[in-house]
Structure 1
Amino acid sequence: MAIERGFRFGINFDDAFPRGLVMVGDVAPDNEFQSREDRAANRPVRQRVDEVTGKRQWKATVTDLGEEKAKRASFEITFLAEVQPVPTTSEVLPGMRPIELEGLTAEPRVGGQGEFKYQTYVFRATGFKAVAASAGKSARSSAASDDTSKAA
Structure 2
Amino acid sequence: MALKGGTRFSVDGNDVFPGGCVLVPDSIGEVEDYDEKTGRRTPAKDKLTGQRVWQVRVMDLDPELGKRSRETTVKIIGDYQPVPPTGAPFEAVEFDGMTVTPYVTNNNRMAYSLRAIAMRAPAGSNSAGTATKAPA
* 1:83 corresponds to 2:83: no
C-alpha distance in 1 between matches for 2:16 and 2:105 = 18
Alignment of 1:112-123 (within 5 A): 113=107, 117=109, 119-123=110-114
Give how far 1:111 is off.
Answer: 4.7
* 1:61 corresponds to 2:52: no
After superposition, the Cα gap between the structure-2 partners of 1:112 and 1:31, relative to the gap in structure 1 and judged at 3 Å, is closer
After superposition, the Cα gap between the structure-2 partners of 1:50 and 1:96, relative to the gap in structure 1 and judged at 3 Å, is same
Give how far 1:120 is off.
Answer: 2.7
Q: Which runs of 4+ in 1 moved over 6 A?
A: none
* 1:125 corresponds to 2:116: yes
What TM-score, normalized by structure 1, do the two folds share?
Answer: 0.67
Given that residues 5 and 103 in structure 2 are in contact (C-alpha distance below 8 angstroms), is that contact kept between their aligned partners in structure 1?
A: no
Q: Deviation digits for residues 32-55 of structure 1, max 9, x if unmatched?
A: 2377x85xxxx7x52111111111
What TM-score, normalized by structure 2, do the two folds share?
Answer: 0.74
Which has the greater radius of gyration?
1
* 1:23 corresponds to 2:31: no
Q: Aligned residues: percent identity?
A: 29
Q: Which has the higher helix share?
A: 1
SS for the counterpart of 1:2 is: coil
Q: Which has the higher strand share?
A: 2
After superposition, the Cα gap between the structure-2 partners of 1:112 and 1:23, relative to the gap in structure 1 and judged at 3 Å, is farther
Given that residues 59 and 76 in structure 1 are in contact (C-alpha distance below 8 angstroms), is that contact kept between their aligned partners in structure 2?
A: yes
C-alpha distance in 2 between matches for 1:15 and 1:89 = 24
Given that residues 78 and 124 in structure 1 are in contact (C-alpha distance below 8 angstroms), is that contact kept between their aligned partners in structure 2?
A: yes
After superposition, the Cα gap between the structure-2 partners of 1:90 and 1:7, relative to the gap in structure 1 and judged at 3 Å, is same
Given that residues 56 and 82 in structure 1 are in contact (C-alpha distance below 8 angstroms), is that contact kept between their aligned partners in structure 2?
A: yes
Give how far 1:77 is off.
Answer: 1.4
* 1:105 corresponds to 2:99: yes
